[in-house]
Chains A and B, each alone.
Chain A
Amino acid sequence: SQTIHQWPATLVQPVGSPLSLECTVEGTSNPNLYWYRQAAGRGLQLLFYSVGIGQISSEVPQNLSASRPQDRQFILSSKKLLLSDSGFYLCAWRHSGEGLTPGWTEAFFGQGTRLTVV
């Protein structure tokens, strides 16, 4: 069966420090991968998604970047954190659209990382 791992669960970082959040998926190949951010009591904001190794689509220009060095690994990074980067970060995957009609299946989420920038 497929599983998704996201870590760490909580993180407190000072302003100006770097960030690296990692997400890995097991039990599937060539998944679509997603990074979302959720402010307290709010909806999910799509930050990045990837349909393949090295392919990153950025939805919101900001202080963050994403990379996909391996098929089932998705990394969210920042060189210098801002206070406004605080939030709940969620990684998700779903099967790619290949072979499926009309297109896609449900997304499976990790348990999230609560980032507090102080």
Chain B
Amino acid sequence: SQQGEEDPQALSIQEGENATMNCSYKTSINNLQWYRQNSGRGLVHLILIRSNEREKHSGRLRVTLDTSKKSSSLLITASRAADTASYFCATDALTSYDKVIFGPGTSLSVIP
């Protein structure tokens, strides 16, 4: 499959701590995106990083992309209880950008 694994599968931290989630993929990509899903709801787009970018920031979110290692990380700084959700990375393949493939996700629990 195009998509690899996200790790960790589940992460539990205290409020105020930083949370780091990783994503690996297998094929060359155009872009990589991170999404958030609250329990039982649709996904919401967080941030997009293009294949020629190495780092991107949006508020408390920081995303890195290492195309040589085919991996990305999402860092949430100063976490809040409201950050509790599942986080997914998604990629498109260089040769078939119409397809959007998601990883298995990381379930984040932020304890107040």
State the B residues within 8 Å of A (CB): 6, 30-31, 33, 35, 40-45, 48, 50-51, 88, 90, 92, 97-105, 107
Contact = CB atoms under 8 A, between A and B. Distances in A.
Nearest to A4: B42
Given A104-B31, A104-B92, A43 B98 contact: no
A81 interface: no
B32 to A, nearest CB: 11
A108 to B, nearest CB: 7
A49 B42 contact: no
A59 B1 CA distance: 11
A8 to B, nearest CB: 14
Interface of A: 6, 32, 34, 36, 41-44, 46, 49, 51, 57, 59, 88, 90, 92, 94, 96-97, 102-112, 114
